[in-house]
Amino acid sequence: MSKNILHMLTPLKHMSPFDVNMAADAGYDVIATYRDVAPEEVRGLVQDAIFSRSPADAVRTGIFFAGKNAIQALDMLQAAKESFVPPFEVNLFADPAGSFTTAAGMMACVEKLLKDRFQTTLKGKKVAIFGGTGVVAFSAAVIAASEGAEVFLAGYDGTRRVTGIAADMKTRFGVDVHPADGSDHEARSAVADSADIILSAGPAGQEILTEEQVASVKGLLIAADVNAVPPAGLAGVGVHDNGEPVGSGKGLALGALAIGNVKYQAQHLLLKRMISTDKPLSLDFRDAFEEARKFIA
């Protein structure tokens, strides 16, 4: 039987050891890593991979896109699709900096808490996302908006960059996301104050909202933080929290390790799916969200 081979591409200096370990534990026989890959090099690498095996063995080949930029990873994934010469097609999976599966894990956990504790869904909820220029925030915003939430994406440096990011989301995925100013203490409070759900996806070890700011959000249902490095992005949210009280009302906390467990499972299961499939797959954060949902259902 043909070996399962995974080619892992990153535009960065190093491939993530986390992702390499995940691929090995998922069961790939051969893992090859490629560093400093420019977007224009994707076509040549993909075609070099697809023509070395018969169409029948194509699904035993996977290509993984890493890096630290959501838009760049999606562009590289699309470039790979456009490089296929049917019936020569292989499996594709984008998860830059683990952000797609992290966002999927966070949103699946938020959705489950809403259902189990409040008997409601994301539809119609106001969602404030901090760390808006980052990779986790991008995916979380698209997922939340796709589920019918009203999403506000806050940029630490104001609204200019998040305005462009929101426009890209609209073009690619047809969702409306509102840019917001998260540049200072008062601006962040203004974004959070009327939110039902607050998501913190900012840099590790940086507090975004104080305990007093979180407590002031009267209608808060869920405060989720993907940061496991002290201090918490949302003060009062512990890394192990999975429905513990937070704030001054009925709010529930969702911490980084609770999210991380679901993220890990989603990435593992998607890698396993590529090994077992009989038809070529193309996977991004939307597929990760569905996998995370099934895992915690």
Neighbours of 32 (CB within 10 A): 12
pLDDT over 80 at 216, yes or no: yes
Q: What is the pLDDT of residues 132-150, one digit of tens each?
A: 999 999 999 999 999 999 9
Flag whether 112 is in a domain.
yes
User: Do 144 and 250 share a domain, yes or no?
Assistant: yes
Q: How far apart are CA 148 and CA 160, in angstroms?
A: 24
Q: Reduced to 3 states, what is the DSSP secondary structure of residue 183?
A: coil
Q: Let me know if residue 279 belongs to a domain.
A: no
**pLDDT score recorded for residue 289:** 98
CATH number of the domain at 124, please: 3.40.50.720
Given a contact cutoff of 8 angstroms between Cβ atoms, the answer to whether 154 and 178 are in contact is no
Banded model confidence at residue 208, pLDDT cuts 50, 70, 90: very high
Supply the CATH number for residue 68's domain.
3.40.50.10280
Residue in this structure with the two tokens 């609209």, named with its chain if needed: 170
Pair 73, 190 in one domain:
no
**pLDDT of 1 strictly over 90:** no
What separation, in Å, do the N-terminal and C-terminal C-alpha atoms of the chain show?
35
Per-residue pLDDT at 128: 98
The count of structural domains within the chain is 2
Domain extent at residue 196: 99-259
Q: Determine what percent of the chain is predicted with pLDDT higher than 70.
A: 100
Digit-coded pLDDT (tens) for 219-237: 999 999 999 999 999 999 9
Q: How confident is the model at residue 98 (pLDDT cuts 50, 70, 90)?
A: very high
Final residue belonging to a domain, choices 64, 94, 124:
94
Residue 56: pLDDT band with limits 50, 70, 90: confident
Q: Are residues 238 and 164 in the same domain?
A: yes
* 174 exposure class (CB count in 10 Å sphere: 0-12, 13-18, 19+): exposed
Residue type at 261 in one-letter notation: N
Average of per-residue pLDDT across 175-195: 97
Boundary (domain end) residue, out of 41, 61, 94: 94
